[in-house]
Structure 1
Amino acid sequence: MIRLSGTFILELREKAPFLEVEVVNWTSSTITDIESGQLLMGISYGIDVKPKHIREQKLVDLTGCCAVRKDHPIQSKSATPNEFSKYELASLFIPGWSEDLPVAAKKMKELSLPYKVGFRSAYPMAIVDVLHKSDMFFATSNLFPFSSYPSLRRIDIDTQDFELTYSLNSFFHQRNGNDPLTLWLNSLVKEELELAIQ
């Protein structure tokens, strides 16, 4: 949301000036809202369990990395999970993806590394604010708009212990599988995401 919303809305206004769009956070009711027709589509990471009439379409593959403040004690361009384990984790709360425990914390737990979740929020800007004021790290992806936040920097994750590539997908009801608006929005979002991660 932090990377795409502004660009996407401006692109929509230019290409479809009479289309009204509302962008909301993914919540625990998003799939139900798509089922009922209250939402046309949702964008999130892969979901293990979903109703069979909800279609999932891959938009882009993302690569995991971390965001930290510019003066963070880890000054290298890449760091191991062990190096990150010395610092608290700031994490997005995403229902269906990281509601019980942040993904980065799960990975550290699997590696028997200590971890402490210092801050969680459903709002990316709250995490950005915390990063500016602490030594916390934010496990994110190459979709994060580092160029818009010069006081933050990217640290790649140096590991062979787990996969760092994962997909960002759109979700929509099968009744909209051939709907021109749904197909066009999927195409536009995919195009904008591909440009954003180049």
Structure 2
Amino acid sequence: MKNTPFDTLNLNLIKVFLSLYESLNTYRTAKQLNLSQPAISRHLQKLRYAFNDPLFVKVHKGLKPTNKAHFLAEKLPEIWRDLEEVINHEEEFQIEKLSGQLNIALHPLYIDLLSDKLFIELKQRASNVQLVISVWSNDTEAQLLEGKLDFGITIDPLDMSKEVSQRRLPKLYAKLYLNNQHPLIDEQINQHTFSKYALAILHVRGWNEHITYTERYLSRFGVTPKIEYRSPHPSSILNVVSQTQLLHPIVANYYDLSSEQVSKKFIYIEDSPLMLDSAFCYHYRHRNSPIHQWFYETIEDMLQHEYRRDHVQLESVAPCFDARAETIL
């Protein structure tokens, strides 16, 4: 029976191929894999023999992939990662054994809500993990697909690649912060409120420098809000709100807020409290990963606690309501 390329291929050569395809340079590949350049050249010869194709041809500034190489580079990475996951799978996942750097992206509305809680939880349970949090931006989807981010939390739903899985998280109430002397302090906040008073908005580059979710959502009611102040710092926004009639829509609870100056009110749309859907996003190759499952459940508990806290407060001022899920911020 004739051997196929798979029968004669050393699987370690796949790592060499993927590195070569990314760098298109034997020197950089050798450095990345801690091998010598002659060793990389020998591995490339074996790859060419196994696939019966040159795979890479020399050009002035390095290597140029053939059509066969492009085909392999499209198919192999996910197969390779799935194979790694199967081989490295542990029957019982122990968070205490986790180590290394964890890279996640949080939607700006969840930075204050989750970042410190996640760090403290990891510090107590997995002290060898270094947590790196970035703000969800226009590049986040690509970084999830490229493996540069482990997962992300954002407002849902998003129109993303089918390779990015989105698991729903508990809904959260939309809120508005305003000066205690504001004319609206005893009024219900609804979509019409935003046509009467200017806003102070959390400004994050790569997320809402052109148009905010508030503007997009209110446009369906024919409302164009006036945004007078933008800042990346919540403390600055709250300071401005405390001294003006500007309104600040957000999902986060500011627990260190001085109630003597600023108050929180819930936002209503057609007499129902407005809620935000959120999602846990990750590359689908991690769909069976116990690490991602642990983080999903941990974040789910954190958001569920936040929801219950707001729910109790909302019931105390409006015992009967029908909460509906919408996205505004």
TM range (shorter): 0.7 to 0.9
Question: In structure 1, what is the equivalent of residue 166 of structure 2?
Answer: 56
Q: Is 1:87 equivalent to 2:87 in the alignment? A: no
Find the aligned partners of 1:164 and 1:174 in 2 and give their Cα distance: 30
Question: In structure 2, what is the equivalent of residue 15 of structure 1?
Answer: 125
**Max Rg structure:** 2
- TM-score normalized with structure 2 length: 0.53
Question: In structure 2, what is the equivalent of residue 35 of structure 1?
Answer: 145
Deviation of 1:123 after TM superposition, in Å, equals: 4.7
- Aligned pairs for 1:96-115 (under 5 A) are 98=208, 100-115=210-225
Find the aligned partners of 1:122 and 1:21 in 2 and give their Cα distance: 21
Amino acid at match of 1:17: S
Deviation of 1:70 after TM superposition, in Å, equals: 2.7
Instruction: Please identify which structure carries the higher helix content.
Output: 2
Question: In structure 1, what is the equivalent of residue 17 of structure 2?
Answer: none
- TM-score normalized with structure 1 length: 0.85
Question: Aligned with 2:135: secondary structure?
Answer: coil
Q: Is 1:192 equivalent to 2:302 in the alignment? A: yes
Deviation of 1:63 after TM superposition, in Å, equals: 2.0
Identity of aligned residues (%): 21
Q: Does structure 2 conserve the Cα–Cα contact (< 8 Å) formed by 1:77 and 1:155?
A: no
Please give the root-mean-square deviation of Cα atoms over the aligned residues, in Å: 2.6
Deviation of 1:43 after TM superposition, in Å, equals: 0.5
The number of residues matched between the two structures is: 196
- Which ranges of structure 2 fall in alignment gaps of 5 or more residues? 1-110, 309-329
| Aligned counterpart in structure 1 of residue 255 of structure 2, from 134, 147, 167 | 147
Higher mean C-alpha deviation, range 100-109 or range 22-31: 100-109
Deviation of 1:129 after TM superposition, in Å, equals: 3.8
Amino acid at match of 1:177: R
Amino acid at match of 2:213: V
Q: Is 1:6 equivalent to 2:116 in the alignment? A: yes
Find the aligned partners of 2:224 and 2:286 in 1 and give their Cα distance: 45
> Residue 175 and residue 108 in structure 1: after superposition, are their counterparts in 2 closer, same or farther (change >3 A)?
closer
1:141-167 Cα shifts (integer Å, max 9, x gaps): 3xx224321242112224318982231
Higher mean C-alpha deviation, range 161-170 or range 178-187: 161-170
Deviation of 1:32 after TM superposition, in Å, equals: 0.8
Higher relative contact order, chain-length normalized (CA < 8 Å, sep 6+): 1
